[in-house]
């Protein structure tokens, strides 16, 4: 008997009601909206426990683009007030744990990186706690013995990720993982 293990992948966030017919603007957390946001796609919702949508799913009826912004139309969301009740909801999809759907080199899902050992010069300096996504670049939040370190997830600082070995190799600039000694003050000029 094979275990069909699933994990969840965060793919978007509902940001603002759009129009009067229940449409909602989306912030996408996926590089593949054409595959993730197709009619019939079902999303688990991350909403406060006080929300009437808590514990429910949302099915996409249609995705449209207005002025280069994605706007979703969802089954059961037929007016503006229903759409406003969903603002700030995070959209998650179920993903097979062994789904290697990314053919892109140097592309990983967040859940594949969290928990990996972070090594510098062959020595472990911490573990990946979280991946944060920002417009300029992504950050790896690395848990170390002395706290958390934010590591820019760029090739120059993170030259390799080995999922099989469970290792993220870093070549950080001086001072990223350790305190630098204060520079001695220059003697006064005479």
Only one residue has tokens 């950080």, namely 172
pLDDT-derived band at 28, boundaries 50, 70, 90: confident
Query: What's the pLDDT tens digit per position in 44-88?
Result: 998 888 888 888 999 999 999 998 899 999 999 999 999 999 999
Structure tokens at 100: 């290697």
Length of the chain measured in residues: 190
Output the CA–CA distances (angstroms, integers) from residue 189 to 90, 106, 185, 186, in the order listed: 60, 52, 12, 8
Lowest mean pLDDT among 24-38, 69-83, 141-155: 24-38
- 3-class SS of residue 112: helix
pTM of the model: 0.56
C-beta separation of 134 from 151 below 8 A: no
Q: Which residue has the higher pLDDT, 60 or 103?
A: 60
């Amino acid at each position: 008997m094979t275990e069909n293990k699933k994990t969840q992948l965060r793919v978007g966030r509902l940001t603002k009601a759009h129009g009067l017919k229940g449409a909602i603007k989306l912030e996408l957390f996926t590089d593949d909206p054409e595959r993730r946001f197709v009619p019939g796609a079902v999303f688990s919702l991350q909403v406060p426990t006080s929300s009437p949508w808590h514990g429910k799913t949302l099915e996409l009826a249609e995705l449209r683009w207005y002025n280069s912004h994605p706007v979703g139309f969802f089954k059961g969301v037929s007016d503006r007030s229903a759409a406003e009740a969903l603002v700030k909801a995070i959209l998650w999809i179920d993903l097979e744990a062994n789904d290697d759907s990314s053919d892109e080199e140097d592309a990983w899902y967040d859940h594949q990186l969290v928990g990996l050992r972070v090594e510098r010069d062959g020595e472990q300096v911490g573990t990946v706690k979280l991946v944060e996504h920002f417009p300029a670049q992504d950050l790896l939040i690395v848990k170390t013995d002395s706290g958390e370190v934010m590591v820019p997830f760029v090739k120059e600082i993170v030259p390799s990720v080995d999922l099989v070995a469970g290792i993220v190799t870093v070549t950080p600039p001086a001072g990223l993982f350790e305190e630098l000694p204060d520079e001695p003050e220059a003697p006064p000029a005479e």
